[in-house]
A and B are shown apart, each in its own frame.
Chain A
Amino acid sequence: MKNLERFDDHTWKKFFAFLLPDEKNMTRHEIEAELQHLGIDTRPGLAKVQQGLKKMAAAREARAALEAAKKQRPSLLAKLRDMTSEVSSLTKEDLRRIIGERFSGTAQAAFFRKLDSAASEEDLRSLIDDMSKLDALTEESDDAEP
């Protein structure tokens, strides 16, 4: 005599939980089979996960690039400062190249103008000093960005 009526709902709920397949004890193959059996399609959800992983990888790469750029900045700044003390060894062409590589827009145009009109070593020293200050300001504003 089974007399299953004697069990209350609490026990029947435990029975449900007991029967339900537990992924913790299943292999990947068993899980896939069970999902298929239940008619659960995982492909759309998996596509979302893969997209999320791509975003995370892209964000990680961007962070790494930013870190690398930050590491490079001090050396660039130091280089410019060194130039101030060794200005006599720099040619106008050296400065033209640095202005072209490091600056853009109106700042670049202004520095080129100043370079072209520089008539003395003092003028060149002043130009390098301005370049160095602007570079430092640019770094600070970049660092302040989230």
Chain B
Amino acid sequence: MAPGEAVTGEVEVTEIENVTEDQWAEYHKRLTLHAGGFFIAYGWQANGSWAGPGGVDPSDIAADAILKVLDGTRRYDPSSGIKLMTFLRNVVRSLISHLVEAADTQHRRPMPKVRLGGAEDPVDMEPEGDEPDPLENCIKNEILEKLKKVATEEEDTLVAEILECLDADITKPVEIAEYLNVEVKTINNAQKRLWRKAEKALGQPKQEGTS
């Protein structure tokens, strides 16, 4: 795959032997970002860097997920019809869930399933019934309060409109745009702008020479 080429992130169903080293490198980055969402939600950082229980960082979690699939500890079966990346994301969630269980935190409920919004996972990866989204379930109160502050300080009324949509379970940018009768680009831009503000407010650690 050429650098910078657009991808959906949804890798085809394939035997792991067919995945190239370059593709594994990309999966690792995707999974690192996926795991990073949980670290942000938990506020897992120490001494200016991301650090979960035992000092692991999102990149460690992503690598561990891939290694478990490579060595067969978590056996990926292409005949199940589940895409490799979907399977790997599930392994990441499982590993984080174990970390949460191991750590003596205020969040004691397991997080078997999660979506970071956006594209749909296969049916068997969806939260069941009224089960809350595990990512939402694990957000630390302190993080949530900081986020509220950022949104409250925002002049744009679009924030309130987006919150109304989310309150009504309209969660995808396309659907929100349609509901609010604005362009999807407007929602996407607001999403990025607000995230940048939120990041600052949440106090993300900064490391030298990354990715």
- Which residues of A are in contact with B by a Cβ distance under 8 Å? 2-4, 7, 9-29, 31-32, 34-46, 48-50, 52-53, 55-56, 60
Chain B: CB-nearest residue to A2: B160
B25, B32, B60: which contacts A35 (Cβ < 8 A)? Answer: B32
Most buried by B among A7, A21, A56: A21
| A1 → B minimal CB distance (Å) | 9
Whether B95 sits at the interface, judged by CB under 8 Å, is no
Could you count the A-B residue pairs with CB atoms below 8 Å apart for me: how many are there?
201
- Contact residues in B for A46 (Cβ distance below 8 Å): 25, 28-29, 59, 63
Chain B, 1-36, contact with A by CB distance < 8 Å: what is the 0/1 string?
101111111100000010001001110111011101
- A49–B21 CA distance with the chains assembled, in angstroms: 9
Are A17 and B116 touching (Cβ within 8 A)? yes
| A51 → B minimal CB distance (Å) | 9
Secondary structure class of chain B's binding surface, majority of residues:
helix
Give the contact-size bracket for chain B: 35 or more
Are B24 and A35 touching (Cβ within 8 A)? no
- A35–B40 CA distance with the chains assembled, in angstroms: 12
- Contact residues in B for A22 (Cβ distance below 8 Å): 116-119
Given contacts A15-B166, A38-B33, A45-B63, 9 further A-B contacts (CB under 8 A): A16-B139, A16-B147, A17-B115, A38-B36, A41-B210, A42-B211, A45-B60, A48-B60, A53-B21
- Contact residues in B for A56 (Cβ distance below 8 Å): 70-71
| A122 → B minimal CB distance (Å) | 53
Are B159 and A13 touching (Cβ within 8 A)? no
| A69 → B minimal CB distance (Å) | 21
Interface positions, chain B 124-159, Cβ under 8 Å from A, are 132-133, 135-137, 139, 143-144, 147-148, 151-152, 157, 159
Are A11 and B163 touching (Cβ within 8 A)? yes
Whether B50 sits at the interface, judged by CB under 8 Å, is yes
- A22–B24 CA distance with the chains assembled, in angstroms: 19
Whether B180 sits at the interface, judged by CB under 8 Å, is no
